[in-house]
Amino acid sequence: MKITPLNNGPLRIEGDFTIVDAQGNAFGLAGRTVISLCRCGHSENKPFCDGSHARVGFQSVVAARDLPPPKPKL
């Protein structure tokens, strides 16, 4: 699986994956191997992107970077 945050747009997911709701029920993806998940919060079809980011002027440019190590759990 590959996840790509698109500049000013959604998270694009490619490959073999399952998406489930908070109760663990799987969404029926009808065989899709590529989907886009909303990042702007304006989609009428959440969690999936419906292109609303363009209408509302969502802006978020993403560049790869190293994250700091996780904090130890106490």
Q: Are 59 and 8 in contact (CB under 8 A)?
A: yes
Is residue 36 a part of any domain in this protein? yes
pLDDT of the residue at 74: 84
Residue 68 in domain: no
Predicted structure pTM score:
0.90
Q: Which residues contact 73 (CB under 8 A, 6 or more apart)?
A: none
Q: Is residue 53 part of a domain?
A: yes
CATH number of the domain bearing residue 7: 3.40.5
Position 45 scores a pLDDT of 97
Residue 64 falls within a domain, yes or no?
Answer: no
pLDDT for the residue numbered 50:
98
Domain region containing 53: 1-58
How far apart are alpha carbons 56 and 9 in whole angstroms? Answer: 11
Provide the number of structural domains found in the chain.
Answer: 1
pLDDT by residue for the chain (74 residues), tens digit each? 999 999 999 999 999 999 999 999 999 999 999 999 999 999 999 999 999 999 999 999 999 999 999 999 98
